[in-house]
Structure 1
Amino acid sequence: MDVHVIRRDNKHLYSEILEDYFRLRHQIYVVERKWAALDRPDKRELDQFDTDETVYLLGLEGRSIIAGMRLVPTTAPTLLSDLFPRLSLNGPIRRPDVYELSRIFVVPKRRGEHAGPRAEAVIQAAAMEYGLSIGLSAFTIVLESWWLPRLLDQGWVARPLGLPIDIDSMSTIAVMVDVDEQAWTEICIRRSVPGPMLVWQGLPVIERPAIRDLVPAA
Structure 2
Amino acid sequence: MEVTTLSYENLHNHGQLFANMFRARHRTFIQHNKWDLPQADGMEFDQYDTPASRWVAVHRHGEVMAGVRLTPTIHRCGVYSYMIRDAQLGLLETIPRDLLNFEAPVDPYIWESSRVFVSDAVPAAERLRVQMQLIHEMVVSARSLGATTLLGIIPEHSPRLARRVGLDCVPVGPVMDTGGMNSVCVSISMATKLH
Band of TM-score, shorter chain: 0.7 to 0.9
The corresponding residue for 1:183 is 193
Output the amino acid matched with 1:65: V
The corresponding residue for 1:202 is none
- The answer to whether the 8 A contact 2:38-2:45 is kept is no
- The answer to whether the 8 A contact 1:26-1:39 is kept is no
The corresponding residue for 2:108 is 96
> What's the offset of the Cα at 1:153?
2.1
Output the amino acid matched with 2:83: L
Distance in 1 separating the partners of 2:165 and 2:19: 32
Secondary structure of the structure 1 residue equivalent to 2:66: strand
RMSD between aligned residues: 2.1
The corresponding residue for 1:55 is 54
TM-score of the superposition, structure 1-length normalised?
Answer: 0.75
Cα deviation code 1:153-197 (max 9, x no counterpart): 2222122222223344432211111002x332x2xxxxxxxxxxx
> What's the offset of the Cα at 1:61?
2.1
> Is structure 2 residue 85 aligned with structure 1 residue 86?
no
The list of structure 1 runs, each at least 4 consecutive aligned residues, that deviate by more than 6 angstroms after superposition, is none
The corresponding residue for 1:9 is 9
Cα deviation code 1:112-147 (max 9, x no counterpart): 2259x6111111111111122233211111122121
Q: How many residue pairs get matched?
A: 182
> Is structure 2 residue 125 aligned with structure 1 residue 143?
no
- The answer to whether the 8 A contact 1:128-1:183 is kept is no
Output the amino acid matched with 1:183: K
> Identity percentage over the alignment?
22
Distance in 2 separating the partners of 1:147 and 1:23: 24
Secondary structure of the structure 1 residue equivalent to 2:46: coil
> Is structure 2 residue 125 aligned with structure 1 residue 121?
no
Cα deviation code 1:2-50 (max 9, x no counterpart): 2112112112223522222212211111111111x11535321000110
Query: Greater helix share, 1 or 2?
Result: 1
Q: Structure 1 pair 165/40, CA: closer, same or farther in 2 (3 Å)? A: same
> Structure 1: where are the runs of 5+ without partners?
187-218
Q: Which has the larger radius of gyration?
A: 1
Alignment of 1:7-46 (within 5 A): 7-14=7-14, 16-35=16-35, 37-38=36-37, 40=39, 42-46=41-45
- The answer to whether the 8 A contact 1:111-1:119 is kept is no
TM-score of the superposition, structure 2-length normalised?
Answer: 0.83
Distance in 2 separating the partners of 1:56 and 1:100: 12
Output the amino acid matched with 1:121: M
Cα deviation code 1:88-118 (max 9, x no counterpart): 1211121111111112222223242259x61
> Is structure 2 residue 172 aligned with structure 1 residue 161?
yes
